[in-house]
Structure 1
Amino acid sequence: MDPNFLIDEKAESRVYIGNLDLRITEAALIKMFTPYGKILSEEFLWHTRGPKRGEPRGFAFIQFSTKEEAKLAKEKMHGRLACGRPLVVRLASEKYVDEAAQDSSTALGEAKKAGLTGSTLGQTSRSAKIAAIKNKLRALEEGGPSVKKQKQADSDSCKDSLDHSQDKG
């Protein structure tokens, strides 16, 4: 059997989970993703040095037994709110470069619409970021709890929301 096949298969059955609230624990993460397949391993990343040493880095990886399970987890969990934050879930084998290229082409399109050319083109990424933030805020206002309620939430309410997040899937 080709050893490269095993590496590719393993990468395709591994998911990246980002934008994790710092209150989410490894156990909670495993509990959230268990309904989508057999979890072979979980890699929760921590700061290893500096002032944040020992604190979570806000992302993790989960290895499922098959790529189908990983794809299902991605479909069901990407964008789902956990402790008031939308999760970013993608296959680990997916290239971040593809997303960056899409973002830059979107920003370029916005620049053309706004009539930005030459030296102002460098600021397109800034305007694209602002647009993305506005869209995110709009989405949170439509579907998520208010910011005031979110600030009042403690780790217990975060835990409760994690427990109930599976009920909606």
Structure 2
Amino acid sequence: MAMDPNGLDSEKSASRLYVGNLDFRISESDVIKMFSPYGKIIAEDFLLHTRGPKRGEPRGYAFVQYTTKEEAQLAKEKMNGKLVRGRPVVVHLASEKGFLDSGTSQRVLKNKKLAGGSGNNSTQIDRAAKISAIKNKLKSLENEGCSTKRPRLKTDALESTGKQSDKKL
């Protein structure tokens, strides 16, 4: 079996889901109840804070492992974007690294609701637009001759030589 960079074999990684944007009142058993209709769950990691003032409280996300990738895919399709206690749950394959940024996940959910589709095209367009905006900004800064050095003023030059200016300010 092939190993992925995380040390999980490819079959396990294809059947492991990330479940995010969970309400903090949701318990580990709630997550299992929500996801068990879609297949046999063989592992579940419900993450809690391990230190600090929130120690022992839920972190708002979990991982659910199914026996097959088909079960995981079905759960992803059925649960992603579903409102649970007033919050849209974010569900994707744990191996999909591009979605680990919660801001990206929220934007995909918003675009999915607005467009009524999967949100994949809008994510690619958003990313391309951001890259283009950054390139344009860099180009404009280069054209303005922006540098990291502060321009020297006459008073700076006089102070560095130790001479006093005759002019009174």
Distance 1:82 1:98, change over 3 A: closer
1:150 corresponds to: none
Give, in angstroms, the shift of residue 72 of structure 1.
Answer: 0.4
2:35 corresponds to: 33
User: RMSD value over aligned CA atoms?
Assistant: 3.0
Q: Which among 97, 116, 127 is matched to residue 104 of structure 1?
A: 127
Gaps of 5+ in 2: 105-122, 141-169
Distance 1:56 1:29, change over 3 A: same
Q: Which among 115, 132, 137 is matched to residue 118 of structure 1?
A: 137
1:7 and 1:24 map into 2 onto residues whose CA distance is 30
Gaps of 5+ in 1: 122-169
How many aligned positions are there? 116
2:70 corresponds to: 68
Q: Which among 51, 55, 64 is matched to residue 53 of structure 1?
A: 55
Q: Which has the higher helix share?
A: 1
The sequence identity of aligned pairs, in percent, is 57
Distance 1:120 1:7, change over 3 A: same
**TM-score, length-scaled by structure 1:** 0.60
Give, in angstroms, the shift of residue 104 of structure 1.
Answer: 3.0
Aligned to 1:4, the other structure's residue is in SS state coil
Distance 1:119 1:80, change over 3 A: same
2:162 corresponds to: none
Q: Which amino acid is 2:89 matched to?
A: L
Alpha-carbon deviations, 1:18-73, whole Å to 9, x = none?
A: 00000111111111101100000110000001121111000000000100000000
Give, in angstroms, the shift of residue 118 of structure 1.
Answer: 1.9
Q: Which amino acid is 1:37 matched to?
A: G
Give the number of the structure with larger relative contact order, counting CA–CA contacts within 8 Å between residues 6 or more apart.
Answer: 1
Q: Which amino acid is 2:137 matched to?
A: G
